[in-house]
Amino acid sequence: MSSRKSRLAAAIMVAGALTVTTACSSGHSNDSAKSGASKAPIATTSISVGTADDSKGPAAPEPGAKKGGTVNMIDRDDFSHLDPAMVYMNYNAEASLLFTRQLTGYKTAADGSQKLVGDLATDTGTTTDGGKTWKFTLKDGVKWQDGAAITSADVKYSIERTYASFIKGGPTYIQQWISGDDYRGAYAGPYDGKGLDAITTPDEKTVVIQFKDVHTDANFTLAMTGYGIVPKAHDTKEEYDKKPFSSGPYQITEHVNDRSLDLERNPNWDPATDPIRNAYPDKWHMTFGVQAQQSTERFIADNGDDKTAFSFHNQVHPTYIDKVKADEKLKPRTLEGLTPYVDYYYINNTRIKDQKIREALVKAFPHQQTRQLQGGTSYGDYATSYMSPTVLGYESYDPFDVLKKPQGDTEAAKKLLTEANAVGQPIVYAFNNTPLQQKVTEAIRTNLEAAGFKFVPKPLDSKTYYDAIQLVNNEFDLYWGGWGADWPTGYTSLQPVWDGRVIQDGGQNYAHVNDPEINAAMDAAVKIADPAAQGKAWAAIDKKLQDKAYSIPDVYQRSLSLYGSGLGGVKFDTLAGLQSPLNIYVK
């Protein structure tokens, strides 16, 4: 993403692919930077499913918080989408929390652990047949910004309209689970008057969703902003992306493209119905076009309006990391945490079929050197698994001793390469042509050449980087990419990227791994009802991927960011890897 500095950053989400698009291709070039203390990966138990009691409003109050005031937000990019159905990027979704509600959502406890609770629904949904049919009941008193009640028909309509042809870029899980992979062929959206039979509304308050197959974590899926609700009466189709109708605590007053977004209170939002959102400030003023270097300087200087400013996405610029960490005065307003993103260096398995050669690549890879170039421990923790530690079921496993030798074991790699009779094997490494990535390439070149590979660097333009590596018949052997789970279970963490049946141009299986054993194991894992047991199954798949050295997991990305001294309640949202707006108040 940098990219970066370039970065590219999380902004490059390549939409449109059939199955799962990119929840989270995160940026490289950028600003990924974080914690000095490189804490142990957080425990996998931090995510749980809440009860109906947990789903009751109001949200747990923030100690010392008071109402009122205006909170400023500074960031690099404007939100690319406001229509919930098109929101997939974490950055857009985080802002949408302020004006869009879903059936379910995540509630963060004071200790940072997160719980899935009912947002519009009274609980996290019930299923009587193991996950094929899901029933949700809406709370009393949930309203649109014009005061009209939110009904089950609205929920049904919101899912129906995600089938419409103008909805590009949002998640497609629910649609495919209801109607199959070619879901647009099965149903064209609600605009010609036809409804979707799989979703029924027995009464004003009840929605029943019927899937073709078992999906035990569908209630997590429905927490995505992409399944946020849209009112039929105010649906302006394409225009809705510019000004959505609010169901949350704030409504949009003004949006100037690429410049600013202003929010004010929605008088019809009732805190008693909302277990997630603490709406302390009266207004939000968000401005865009601020690069990470600028925002870092502004937060350090802490002048004027910047005192009450935070930033969803801009992190501490890598060159400032040491300075920020060394400054005791900045400590109280520094946020650090593990994001859901895992960085991989994908090995193109169509071109490199010999497992020994792949193992040699894994062994030789200079994790320490590349990480140091991008911010050190603040950039991330060394990764060995394909699943992030933020995902339910994560287990640490290191078959190639990467953690013992993060600087790369070129000797061992050379031995493997000799055994495979492939010394001098050319490795075409495609990279985003930014100054930072050129240096990263140098570090990789040094190690791979020492291990006996012939290194061929291929600089690609930042704008077309993803397009180029997403071609199935691309001519590269090794390329960087990131992935973050859409919700914290193994399914969304692994299936979109490692399922061999989703290999296609523009798809997310960058490594072109098509292992029947893994495909079958994935199908089996989805059907396990118990979340913990399912987590174990996914961890087993993860280990299999590692054993075969299908790619090189690089780091679990961390985040290090600052905010103004005049704000309280700024928290780090580990599910999105961003600063959360939900508990922010003006001191």
* # binding residues, another protein (CB under 8 A): 40
> Helix (H, G, I), strand (E, B), or coil: what is residue 484?
strand
According to DSSP, the residues that pair with 250 across neighbouring strands are 265
Q: Which of 33, 392, 494, 576 binds another protein (CB under 8 A)?
A: 33
Cβ of residue 373: shortest distance to another protein, in angstroms?
5
CB-based contacts of 81, cutoff 8 Å, min separation 6: 87, 88, 89, 92, 169, 170, 241
- Six-digit token pair at 511? 């490594």
Query: Is residue 376 a contact point for another protein (CB under 8 A)?
Result: yes
Beta strands in 394-539 (DSSP E): 426-432, 454-460, 478-484
Q: Which of 51, 253, 303, 319 binds another protein (CB under 8 A)?
A: 319
Query: Is residue 475 a contact point for another protein (CB under 8 A)?
Result: yes
Q: Where in 242-271 is the site for another protein (CB under 8 A)?
A: none
Query: Is residue 443 a contact point for another protein (CB under 8 A)?
Result: yes
Integer distance in angstroms from the first to the last C-alpha of the chain? 34
Among the residue ranges 17-25, 95-103, 158-166, 455-463, the one whose residues contact another protein (CB under 8 A): 455-463
Among the residue ranges 104-112, 150-158, 377-385, 567-575, the one whose residues contact another protein (CB under 8 A): 377-385
Cβ of residue 484: shortest distance to another protein, in angstroms?
23
Indicate the residue among 58 and 459 with the shorter CB distance to another protein.
Answer: 459
Indicate the residue among 181 and 467 with the shorter CB distance to another protein.
Answer: 467
Among the residue ranges 78-86, 116-124, 262-270, 318-326, the one whose residues contact another protein (CB under 8 A): 318-326
Indicate the residue among 88 and 320 with the shorter CB distance to another protein.
Answer: 320
Among the residue ranges 248-256, 332-340, 440-448, 494-502, the one whose residues contact another protein (CB under 8 A): 440-448
Among the residue ranges 384-392, 429-437, 483-491, 527-535, the one whose residues contact another protein (CB under 8 A): 429-437
Q: Which of 213, 411, 461, 523 binds another protein (CB under 8 A)?
A: 461
Indicate the residue among 140 and 442 with the shorter CB distance to another protein.
Answer: 442
d(CA 233, CA 147) in angstroms, rounded, equals: 13
Q: Which of 81, 307, 317, 512 binds another protein (CB under 8 A)?
A: 317
Please report where in the chains the tokens 């502004």 appear, as a residue: 298
Q: Which of 141, 189, 459, 506 binds another protein (CB under 8 A)?
A: 459
d(CA 246, CA 101) in angstroms, rounded, equals: 8
Cβ of residue 443: shortest distance to another protein, in angstroms?
7
Angle at 582 between CA 486 and CA 153, to 5 degrees: 65
- Six-digit token pair at 581? 């707006």
Cβ of residue 235: shortest distance to another protein, in angstroms?
43
Assess contact for 221 and 227: CB atoms under 8 A. yes
- Six-digit token pair at 354? 């010999």
Q: Which of 113, 200, 260, 368 binds another protein (CB under 8 A)?
A: 368
d(CA 538, CA 491) in angstroms, rounded, equals: 7
Assess contact for 82 and 241: CB atoms under 8 A. yes
Q: Which of 293, 294, 350, 565 binds another protein (CB under 8 A)?
A: 293
Write the Ramachandran bin of 322: left for phi over 0, alpha for psi from -120 to 50, otherwise beta. Answer: alpha
Phi, psi of 521 (to 5 degrees): -60, -35
> Helix (H, G, I), strand (E, B), or coil: what is residue 488?
coil
Indicate the residue among 153 and 450 with the shorter CB distance to another protein.
Answer: 450
Cβ of residue 202: shortest distance to another protein, in angstroms?
58
Assess contact for 364 and 450: CB atoms under 8 A. yes
Query: Is residue 411 a contact point for another protein (CB under 8 A)?
Result: no
Query: Is residue 39 a contact point for another protein (CB under 8 A)?
Result: no
495-509 core/surface letters (b: 16 or more CB in 10 A; e: else): bbbbbbebbeeebbb
Indicate the residue among 189 and 459 with the shorter CB distance to another protein.
Answer: 459
| Alpha-carbon distances of 19 from 94, 181, 182, 497, 537, rounded to whole Å | 23, 7, 9, 10, 22
Indicate the residue among 28 and 285 with the shorter CB distance to another protein.
Answer: 28
User: Strands 283-288, 260-265: parallel, antiparallel or unpaired by DSSP?
Assistant: antiparallel
Nearest to 320 by CA among 286, 354, 351, 294: 294
Contacting positions for another protein (CB under 8 A): 33, 36, 293, 297, 317-323, 366, 368-369, 372-373, 375-379, 407, 428, 433-436, 438-439, 441-443, 445-446, 456-459, 461, 475
